[in-house]
């Protein structure tokens, strides 16, 4: 992203997954702009929400990633309103969290604490990268969730296969998995300078080098260096956004093979992965990224979604097709 676009930082990212349609899309949840869409994906196992708040960087990236609720609906953004009908409950899975990550007691916020905690061994735990997965997994249908990334200088969000191996990344998965249907959730990213969000397949690698790409079971977008947004497709796509999202909405359509990311506040589509093929459970993926010496200490926060408001708004408007391309 160019220097003159710094005032348009994403503060919330929406992630949409269409398992059967083979698509993962990322949106600016505030504006509704599509950031990127992974299409023609082939899913054969569970997918999990994927999150990485990235390292703290001496406090520069200390803001948490926050899984947020959909307590706001912008009527002008019909596409995002449609995604929010598939909102799902997402919480972070502490068994997958990197030892440096600090999770809130309700499992909705995560940030890099800069200090490795002494935790019991768990084969599901990320050891090398500051990542965490959601508890929930998806193996069919459509689902959506949002993540607040406000204040972060770096982050990664998306989805990951169940079979991934974790090593040293500050990542964590959601507890819930999805293996059918449509689902949606939101994550607050306010105050973060880096983060990663999305969904991951149940079988993704959790040891050794981890590459966030659909080929490796991850459908994610991330923020780096405060204003550089990327969709981690098989060929990474640099995203140019109208503004910086504070909350990200993630929508998954398992059978439709789609994962989409939205700005949860504006309703703008950020990015969509389309034509994906899912064959296993999917899990929400979160990475608040490194603390960066306090700069990126803000947590990622899983936000509750106001589905009733979304349904009321939907009745007032026509049903558009899900966008598959960035704006």
- Three-state SS sequence of 66-122: EEEECCCCCCCCHHHHHHHCCECCCCECCCCCCCCEEECCCCCEEEECCCCCCCCCC
pLDDT at residue 67, rounded to an integer? 85
Residue pointed to by tokens 């899990």 = 283
Range of the domain at 277: 8-314
Instruction: Tell me whether residue 139 is in a domain.
Output: yes
DSSP H helical segments within 109-212, as ranges? none
Per-residue pLDDT of the chain (327 residues; tens, 9 = 90+): 222 333 357 888 888 888 888 989 888 888 888 899 999 998 888 888 888 888 888 888 888 888 887 654 444 356 677 777 888 888 999 998 989 999 999 999 998 888 888 888 887 888 777 888 998 888 877 788 888 877 788 888 888 877 776 554 567 778 888 888 888 888 888 888 888 888 888 877 666 667 889 998 999 999 998 889 999 998 999 999 988 889 999 998 899 899 999 888 888 889 999 999 888 888 888 888 888 888 888 888 888 876 544 544 443 443 344 444 444
Instruction: Tell me whether residue 231 is in a domain.
Output: yes
Residues 6+ apart with CB under 8 A from 235: none
Backbone angles phi, psi at 29, to 5 degrees: -70, -15
Q: Can you give the CATH number for the domain in which 176 is found?
A: 2.60.120.920
Residue pointed to by tokens 């959909």 = 70
Burial environment of residue 202 by CB neighbours within 10 A (0 to 12, 13 to 18, 19 or more):
buried
Residues 6+ apart with CB under 8 A from 304: 68, 69, 70, 71
Instruction: Tell me whether residue 257 is in a domain.
Output: yes
Burial environment of residue 307 by CB neighbours within 10 A (0 to 12, 13 to 18, 19 or more):
middle
Instruction: Tell me whether residue 147 is in a domain.
Output: yes
Instruction: Tell me whether residue 140 is in a domain.
Output: yes
Instruction: Tell me whether residue 1 is in a domain.
Output: no
pLDDT at residue 301, rounded to an integer? 87
pLDDT at residue 116, rounded to an integer? 84
Number of domains in the chain: 1
pTM: 0.60
Instruction: Tell me whether residue 215 is in a domain.
Output: yes
Instruction: Tell me whether residue 323 is in a domain.
Output: no
pLDDT at residue 288, rounded to an integer? 86
């Amino acid at each position: 992203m160019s220097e003159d676009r710094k005032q348009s930082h994403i503060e919330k990212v929406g992630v949409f997954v269409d398992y059967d349609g083979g698509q993962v899309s990322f949106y600016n949840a505030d504006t509704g702009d599509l950031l990127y869409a992974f299409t023609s994906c082939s899913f054969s196992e569970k997918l999990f929400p994927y999150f990485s708040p990235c390292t703290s960087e001496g406090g520069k990236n200390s803001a948490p990633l926050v899984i947020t609720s959909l307590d706001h609906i912008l009527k002008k953004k019909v596409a995002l309103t449609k995604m929010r009908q598939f909102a799902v409950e997402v919480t972070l899975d502490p068994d997958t969290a990197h030892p440096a990550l600090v999770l809130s007691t309700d499992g909705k916020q995560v940030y890099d604490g800069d200090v490795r905690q002494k935790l019991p061994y768990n084969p599901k735990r990320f050891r090398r990268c500051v990542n965490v997965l959601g508890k929930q997994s998806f193996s069919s249908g459509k689902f959506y969730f949002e993540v607040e990334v406000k204040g972060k200088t770096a982050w990664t969000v998306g989805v990951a296969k169940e079979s991934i191996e974790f090593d040293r990344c500050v990542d964590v998965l959601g507890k819930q998995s999805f293996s059918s249907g449509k689902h949606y959730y939101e994550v607050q990213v306010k105050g973060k300078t880096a983060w990663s969000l999305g969904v991951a397949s149940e079988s993704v690698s959790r040891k050794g080098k981890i590459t966030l790409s659909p080929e490796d079971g991850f459908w994610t977008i991330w923020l780096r260096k405060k204003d550089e947004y990327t969709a981690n497709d098989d060929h990474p796509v640099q995203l140019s956004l109208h503004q910086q999202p504070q909350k990200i909405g993630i929508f998954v359509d398992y059978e439709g093979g789609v994962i989409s990311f939205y700005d949860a506040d504006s309703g703008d589509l950020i990015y969509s992965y389309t034509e994906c093929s899912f064959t296993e459970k999917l899990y929400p993926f979160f990475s608040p990224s490194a603390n960066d010496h306090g700069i990126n200490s803000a947590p990622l926060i899983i936000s509750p979604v106001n589905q009733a408001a979304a349904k009321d708004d939907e009745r007032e408007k026509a049903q558009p097709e899900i966008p598959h391309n960035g704006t």
